[in-house]
């Protein structure tokens, strides 16, 4: 009996030791995979916090099991193609308060379906590719950016899940229509379909061009007619100025004889 108790005690101690060892390895593995300047923790998944880390670009060594990723308050200026493609568990992505100006067409490829929250507020984004947010299911925050309101932005917002709420928070810094500058995008879109403006502009330009050609043709015809009239008048005056033909004496005698 004593031997059994001793064996059980030693087995329990060994199990606890092995469990601690495995836990230590897992923690060390997670810590070793954490990008430089970031803090990683486990709370309902792997949370990676790179806030205020003076980052100039998005780290490329992000752990694949990342669920929450905070990249806010840095100096990031662009979001390259497929930068998050391996983060298949990513649910929250915070890129607010950076200097982001460019978002590539396939920037969110790989996470568009899983992402629940995307924060791009307080950046320098003026426009994005029309397919940049394709299939994005996340609730996006894109306010406080110097947006240029045009057809592309209209297409982008229509493709997003939270279209109405997102569009209502977008203020047009500039616009294809000057009167929309400084107004919420939603109001501008309600006033005019921004995707029809280029067509209308082309139609107006065509009408102006056709009117110009028509005016030129009419002017040429009028000029041609007036020039011909002037030439005809001069020719008539020339004919009138010619001396009349005088009769010869023998012609006059013949006439007298006949009479």
Burial (CB < 10 A; 0-12, 13-18, 19+), residue 169, is middle
Does residue 255 register a pLDDT over 50? no
Does residue 27 register a pLDDT over 50? no
Domain 34-196 of CATH type 3.40.1010.20: no
**pLDDT band at 52, cuts 50/70/90?**
very high
Does residue 86 register a pLDDT over 80? yes
Does residue 17 register a pLDDT over 50? no
Question: Taking the chain, what is the end-to-end CA distance rounded to the nearest angstrom?
Answer: 182
Does residue 31 register a pLDDT over 50? no
Residue 184 pairs with which residues in a beta bridge? 171
Dihedral of the CA atoms 147, 55, 41, 94 (nearest 10)? 0
**pLDDT band at 8, cuts 50/70/90?**
very low
pLDDT (tens digit, 9 = 90+) per residue, 123-178?
A: 999 999 999 998 888 999 999 999 999 999 988 888 776 656 677 789 999 998 88
Of 48-52, 60-64, 132-136, 211-215, minimum mean pLDDT range: 211-215
Average pLDDT over residues 38-58: 95
Average pLDDT over residues 235-256: 59
Average pLDDT over residues 6-24: 47
CB 132 within 8 A of CB 156: yes
Average pLDDT over residues 218-235: 74
Q: Where are the domains of the chain?
A: 34-196, 197-232
Average pLDDT over residues 2-27: 47
């Amino acid at each position: 009996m004593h031997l059994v108790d001793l064996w059980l005690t030693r087995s329990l101690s060994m199990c606890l030791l092995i469990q601690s060892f495995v836990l230590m390895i897992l923690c060390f593995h997670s810590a070793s995979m954490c990008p430089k300047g970031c803090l990683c923790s486990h709370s309902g998944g792997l949370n990676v916090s790179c806030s205020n880390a003076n980052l100039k670009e998005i780290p490329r060594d992000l752990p694949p099991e990342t669920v929450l990723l905070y990249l806010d308050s840095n100096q990031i200026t662009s979001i390259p193609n497929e930068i998050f493609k391996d983060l298949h568990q990513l649910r929250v992505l915070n890129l607010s308060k950076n200097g982001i100006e460019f978002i590539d067409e396939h920037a969110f490829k790989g996470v568009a379906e899983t992402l629940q929250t995307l924060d791009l507020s307080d950046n320098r984004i003026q426009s994005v590719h029309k397919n940049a947010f394709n299939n994005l299911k996340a609730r996006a925050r894109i306010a406080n950016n110097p947006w240029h309101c045009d057809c592309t932005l209209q297409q982008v917002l229509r493709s997003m899940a939270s279209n109405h709420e997102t569009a209502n928070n977008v203020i047009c810094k500039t616009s294809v229509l000057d009167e929309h500058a400084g107004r919420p995008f939603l109001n501008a879109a309600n006033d005019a379909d921004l995707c029809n403006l280029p067509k209308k502009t082309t139609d107006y330009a065509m009408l102006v061009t056709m009117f110009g050609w028509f005016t030129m043709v009419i002017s040429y015809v009028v000029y041609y007619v007036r020039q011909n009239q002037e030439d005809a008048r001069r020719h008539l005056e020339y004919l009138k100025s010619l001396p009349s033909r005088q009769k010869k004496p023998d012609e006059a005698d013949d006439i007298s004889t006949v009479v």
